[in-house]
Amino acid sequence: MKRLISLLVMSLVLASCGGAVAPAVEATATQPLTDPMPTEAAPAEPTAAAPAELKIVRLGYVPVMIYAPLYVGIERGYFAAEGIQIESTPVQGGSDPVVQLAAGNFDAAFGGAGAGLFNAAARGVKFSIVAPMHNESAPMTSPLVISAKRVDEIKTVADLKGKKVAINATGAATEYWVDQALTKNGLTMADIELVTVGFKDVPAALENGSIDAAILGEPLATINVQKGVVAVLADDFIDGFYATYLYMGESMLADTATSEGFMRAYLKACGDLQGEYMTPEIAAIIETYTKVPAAVIEQASAANYNAEGVIPVDNLSTLQAYFRTRGYLEYDTDLDVNTLINTDLVARATSK
């Protein structure tokens, strides 16, 4: 009691001199403190990090390297700074993200512009392409690879004539990749047997000879090159072409504060991924989401990103035309791809 009285007296003396008043006593488990004259507590100041304060945005992505802007935006706090909490769900790939977006399970999605995307749009599924995601140039992030045991047999893409070449999904952009690799080397799709094999199964399929070549995305390409399992046959047949995009559903676009904030955060993350951006920190961030060691990611070929959010309409038109030649489209008259894109969101987000 003497110590308590002394501290209270000292507090009063400091207060009378205009000094800051420290707490008189600390509460302990054996001696809790109570205020004999309780007053109404002031409301707590809101904090940007409080989950209850953040707008949850549900989205789908494929847990591979090219989705780096999402990972960077989350880990560097860009989305949180815009009042957004990302609830991300990994999906298999292809058109899965957009299918889930259309079903109302996601508010936004990242994914490739495959044949399924165009068919969904033709059926009246409501979504908008609001920004590009990644493009590739040599050395590509999804090269054409062969078994390391066959480098003396298959020396160029032209040597694939009559052989089995794998992609991860029919009607995906990777099929266009194969077409471009063949075209550059004087072949057509009719010169090969196209099959589908998931990326993770490609090394074993090449090893046992069930396929002769395949498109293999990073970082699996680098991992298996380092293991001596595969060899890169070609990684220079695409230059600056965009096949992956950011999509949003109608409800999210109607929420202008959230959609604009999301876009600002996304473009800021894309801005961090320019030039020679693969630092140990970025690699560690990507490792968190892909579970691939950062040391491998640092050595893998990196994708390119557009920090201005300009959607390449001609690339979308090219993909639609290609899928029509392959017979994958379920509608007769080509869609006007301009009706699938929303350029207003980027304009509004970047003007603030």
Give the start-to-end residue ranges of the domains of the chain.
51-135+241-350, 144-234
Cα(199)–Cα(325) distance, integer angstroms:
25
CA distances from 124 to 38, 121, 251, 272, 332 (A): 61, 5, 16, 36, 15
Paired tokens of 12 = 């009063």
DSSP conformation class of 19: P
The answer to whether domain 144-234 has CATH 3.40.190.10 is yes
122-163 residue pLDDT tens: 999 889 999 999 999 999 999 999 999 999 999 999 999 999
Q: Do domains 51-135+241-350 and 144-234 have the same CATH topology?
A: yes
pLDDT number for residue 264: 98
Helix or strand or coil: residue 150?
A: helix
Q: Using omega within 30 degrees of 0 as the cis cutoff, is the peptide bond preceding 139 cis?
A: yes
Cα(126)–Cα(247) distance, integer angstroms:
10
The answer to whether domain 51-135+241-350 has CATH 3.40.718.10 is no
Residue type, position 98, single letter: V
At residue 52, does pLDDT exceed 60? no
246-281 residue pLDDT tens: 999 999 999 999 999 999 999 999 999 999 999 999
Q: How confident is the model at residue 216 (pLDDT cuts 50, 70, 90)?
A: very high
Q: Are 82 and 56 in contact (CB under 8 A)?
A: no
Which residues are paired to 60 by β-bridges?
89, 109
Q: Are 241 and 136 in contact (CB under 8 A)?
A: yes
Paired tokens of 7 = 């501290």
Tokens 């991924």 sit on residue: 273
Cα(185)–Cα(77) distance, integer angstroms:
45
pLDDT number for residue 251: 93
Paired tokens of 150 = 């066959």
Q: How confident is the model at residue 104 (pLDDT cuts 50, 70, 90)?
A: confident
The helix, strand and coil proportions of the chain, stated in percent and rounded to the nearest 5, come to 45, 15, 40
Q: Are 95 and 46 in contact (CB under 8 A)?
A: no
DSSP conformation class of 303: P
Cα(171)–Cα(222) distance, integer angstroms:
25
pLDDT number for residue 103: 83
Residue type, position 31, single letter: Q
At residue 167, does pLDDT exceed 60? yes
Paired tokens of 51 = 């989950």
291-346 residue pLDDT tens: 999 999 999 999 999 999 999 999 999 999 999 999 999 999 999 999 999 999 99
